[in-house]
Amino acid sequence: MSAGKGDPDTRRSLTPVININPFTPDSALIQSATLQRNSRKRSHWNDSCGEDMEASDDTEDEVIPPLKRITMMESHMTSRYVTEFYELEKIGSGEFGSVFKCVKRLDGCIYAIKRSKKPLAGSVDEQNALREVYAHAVLGQHPHVVRYYSAWAEDDHMLIQNEYCNGGTLADVILENYRTMRFLSELELKELLLQVARGLKYIHSTLLVHMDIKPSNIFISRKPVAITDEFDDDDDDGPSSSVVYKIGDLGHVTTVNNPQVEEGDSRYLANEVLQENYRDLTKADIFSLGLTVISASGAEPMPANGDKWHDIRQGKLPLIPQVLSQEFLDLLKLMIHPEPERRPSSAALIKHHVLLTAAKMSAEQLRVELNAERFKNALLQKELKKAQLAKAAAEERMLYTDRVLTRSTVLSSNRTSRLVGKKTNRSVSLTIY
């Protein structure tokens, strides 16, 4: 006999197999609607006899099982990674896993594929991996957040397909700068701060916080930027230089209203987070960003603990081995202020007069570069026109010479024909005897 609608196996087979993204506004509605519906059906079931339930063909009388989460172990498939991607090289490794530079076989574009190092099913790492996928999916696309394309599970490992950033990370740049003792200038530091602040403003506007801002999570994309005659100094989105900074690694992202805090790197972590003060976690991101910019300025590596760690949490700037303007130093000091409410928000940072000056300077630099390119192009066009005229004149001379030589050859040939040709008059000799 076939299983009826009330059969437990049938009910299990009808279980919706989905994950609920906690970062979307619809997640609470979905959970609430599901619980209410299940509660209503169970109440009806308890008040009815089994015969009545079996005799009913109305789907409204069925018990709808709760939503079922997808785990790593439940995703059985052939290797999508091997089938769809060609691995070029390993470009990074961290606590979570390794990152590979890959070409997608179908579209021929390069992507960064992040793969977890160890099996994730049932572990804390699984929750962090899913958290990163949830956050990426909600945040969508922004110039200063690493773009997300897709994610899937293979052999109990999570794989995430992200945008490939050809400039590596800010941590790579800082390490190279230490080696060569050449650090980012104040203008470059302001550009870094401005761009990452724009990315944070976008994240915070969705009521999310990153919670792990540090140099290794700031990715760099080096690409030409379209230059126009008009520059909007209040633009919160577009990059103002060919070096574009993007926030990545969203494994610690949580919500502002209902934070589930997974502490990030202690070297860049705000003290209030350690004290479990989560009243304004957006300001914890600002603290971490301040230390990130200070690291890029050439300061010694940030301490993970000890007296220097506490000095920084008391608002003392580490020693910076280059001369920076006092107003910029004051801004950095404000960003790491011991009292979170005294730190500027990401939106306030973007509008700060120190960074507005940097944006104007960057725009002016682009104007200078544009004018230089235009002047260079004008010279090249002038030289090209001269070359084209010279070539045309030379070709005309060659054609004239060819015509003269051809005419001379024809005339010479005609004279020769009259002397020895058929039309030449013959002499006749008459002898009379």
Residues labelled catalytic: 212
94 is in an annotated binding site: yes
368 is in an annotated binding site: no
Q: Where are the alpha helices (DSSP H) in 297-352?
A: 307-313, 326-335, 346-351
Count of C-beta atoms within a 10 Å radius of residue 75: 16
188 is in an annotated binding site: no
398/160 Cα distance (integer angstroms): 66
99 is in an annotated binding site: yes
167 is in an annotated binding site: no
96 is in an annotated binding site: yes
Q: DSSP string spanning 345-377?
A: PHHHHHH-HHHHHHHHHHHHHHHHHHHHHHHHH
287 is in an annotated binding site: no
351 CA to centre of own chain = 23
Count of C-beta atoms within a 10 Å radius of residue 202: 21
Number of separate helices (H) and strands (E) present in the chain? 13, 9
217 is in an annotated binding site: yes
249 is in an annotated binding site: yes
**Amino acid code (one letter) for 409:** T
Joined tokens for residue 221: 């994309």
User: Could you say which DSSP state residue 103 is in?
Assistant: E
Q: Are 208 and 259 in contact (CB under 8 A)?
A: no
Count of C-beta atoms within a 10 Å radius of residue 47: 8
Annotated binding site: 91-99, 114, 217, 249
Annotated binding site for Mg(2+): 217, 249
Annotated binding site for ATP: 91-99, 114
